[in-house]
Amino acid sequence: MTDVTREAMEYDVVIVGAGPAGLSAAIRLKQLDPDCAVVVLEKGSEVGAHILSGAVLDPVGLDALIPDWKARGAPLNTPVKEDNFYMLGEAGKIRVPNFPMPPLMNNHGNYIVSMANVCRWMAEQAEELGVEIFPGMSCSELVYDEAGGVKGVVAGEFGKNPDGTEGPNYEPGMELHGKYVFLSEGVRGSLAKEVIAKYDLSQGKEPQKFGLGMKEIWEIDPDKHREGTVTHTMGWPLGKNAGGGSFIYHLENNQVYVGFVVHLNYRNPHLFPYMEFQRFKHHPMVADLLKGGKRVAYGARAISEGGFQSMPKMVAPGVALLGCSVGMVNVPRIKGNHNAMLSGKAAAEAAHAALAAGRASDELSDYEAEVRGGAIGKDLKRVRNVKPLWSKYGLLTSLGLGGFDMWTNTFGFSVLGTLGHGKTDAAATEAAAKHKPIEYPKPDGKLSFDRLTNVAFSFTNHEESQPAHLQLKDASVPIGVNLPTYDEPAQRYCPAGVYEVVREEGKDPRFVINFQNCVHCKTCDIKDPSQNINWATPQGGDGPNYPNM
């Protein structure tokens, strides 16, 4: 908290984040009560600018929220026509047949989408209902009431100097107060992290687990394009070094989404997730598809992978966590957007009932009960053991055991019970001396690219005169601890080249933070083995400007 005096605006519900969860909540609140005062605050320069997802969308969330979404022109234009699963070796592949897979893995009825464009469309629906949406408005602080509950946020603070003092054009921002505040910031949101810590919402839960998802959009040769085809791979190039895999989705206009996910519980600090992605594109199957094509966009985002047993308590006085602020991704399906939408709808219905009863600033326990006991909980409970099995036993064993467990869960039981995750992803990192460095091929500039070249295709921009939003708790740790112990893995785990160890002849090494490159993926906040990096929100409008991610 600061001593700055700010004007305040009062709403019934304040929503932080214009993603699928926040926009669903806003829409549902207005459907239930057109007079409900609802505001959505979005840190991106526009709605969708910071949205990055695979994505194959299960429309169950949209069906529940806006049943006539087709007639309203929702941008779900590419139904899935074909599902392919491959196990890759360095030069070949083995097709994994579809028939033994549990029904939940079937993509029939789903759509290949740009979630950025889906959110842009959802924002239009919300505004038609009277929701106020303010893009370019970072929420930098929570506002608490005298009883210790959340009563609002600070948004729109601009003009600080790099040292944090007020610059000549300083704008203090405003306080936006709500009877309830919804945090739908996505994975590892800075305000949600504060709420989880302040109210100890993770007590008794398994640690949250994460993956790093990287994605490029390619325009390819029309002769190679197969609209509606969904392909997933596992195996090479990660092998035993890390869990993860790829996705290749053929959408409209001869474009494909090419993505790669690396589970962040890898042990070897020499692993370079971005370079694993670049190497993947040189597999013969992928290289043949992309040859002669053109990459038109790049981005990266952390993914919550802990599932059912890692979801923290979702409510505290005056505040509720929605979507990926809780962690609602179905890991084997690689889908969470449908659950994010359903969570927004459930939170809105709980808040509407509370407001109608004259309540305010209390815990929306009905919301949590619906998430855990309703469609979201059922979706996540069936697959709760897939991630811990993969982490413990590796890819091949977990495929068999995980598939068996998903089948039995289809019939309502599991012989495995609920498995735990053990360590956090940061704690899973082992000393560099225990592992061999990994040699990566140099990018060729045609299929594979260096990080800084690719970051230019995320259209990222940060005002350089502001304080760095990537904060070191102890400035001595990167060189004094992480470098000798872990070969400072921030040099490699960041998919945007933010962190460097600079070595100059005759001088001690220096740790440099190029925060202007940051694509807001949050990997550093998650994977740093010393937990020394805090990701705070930069000023509004800064960051990536994703087109059709």
Q: Tens digit of pLDDT for each residue in 376-424? A: 999 999 999 888 887 887 777 777 777 777 788 777 777 788 889 999 9
Average pLDDT, the chain: 95
Average pLDDT over residues 351-376: 98
> What is the pTM assigned to this prediction?
0.95
CA distance 443 to 217: 17
Tokens matching residue 548: 């059709």
Half-sphere exposure of 307 (CA within 13 A, CB side): 22
In this prediction, what percent of the chain has a pLDDT beyond 70?
A: 99
Say if residue 425's pLDDT is above 90: yes
pLDDT value for 56: 97
pLDDT value for 435: 97
Average pLDDT over residues 429-448: 97
339 confidence band (pLDDT: 50, 70, 90): very high
β-sheet with 56-57: strand ranges across: 56-57, 111-112, 78-79
Chain segment 134-145, per-residue pLDDT in tens: 999 999 999 999
Q: Which helix (H) or strand (E) holds 151?
A: strand 150-155
pLDDT value for 2: 54
- Across the strands, what pairs with 154? 141, 175
Say if residue 99's pLDDT is above 90: no
Chain segment 243-293, per-residue pLDDT in tens: 999 999 999 999 999 999 999 999 999 999 999 999 999 999 999 999 999
Identify which of 201, 187, 521, 131 has the alpha carbon closest to the alpha carbon of residue 322: 187
Say if residue 1's pLDDT is above 70: no
- Across the strands, what pairs with 461? 543
pLDDT value for 399: 72
304 confidence band (pLDDT: 50, 70, 90): very high
Say if residue 53's pLDDT is above 60: yes
What torsion, rounded to 10 degrees, do the Cα atoms 322, 323, 325, 328 define?
Answer: 130
Helical ranges in 129-263 per DSSP H: 190-198
Chain segment 20-42, per-residue pLDDT in tens: 999 999 999 999 999 999 999 99
| Pairing verdict, β 244-250 and 255-263 | antiparallel
- Across the strands, what pairs with 501? 511
Taking each helix axis as running N to C, give the angle between helix 365-373 and helix 337-356, from 0 to 180 degrees, rounded to the nearest 10.
Answer: 150
For residue 509, what are the contacts with CB-CB under 8 A and spacing of at least 6? Answer: 479, 483, 501, 502, 503
Helix (H, G, I), strand (E, B) or coil at 214: strand
Chain segment 139-183, per-residue pLDDT in tens: 999 999 999 999 999 999 999 999 999 999 999 999 999 999 999
Which region among 22-36, 86-100, 191-205, 533-547 has the lowest average model confidence (pLDDT)? 86-100
Identify which of 31, 41, 40 has the alpha carbon closest to the alpha carbon of residue 65: 31
Q: Map out the domains of the chain with their CATH numbers.
A: 8-70+116-205+312-382 (3.50.50.60)
Helix (H, G, I), strand (E, B) or coil at 376: helix
Average pLDDT over residues 440-465: 97
Provide Rg for the chain, Cα atoms: 22
Tokens matching residue 224: 């190679």
Say if residue 504's pLDDT is above 90: yes
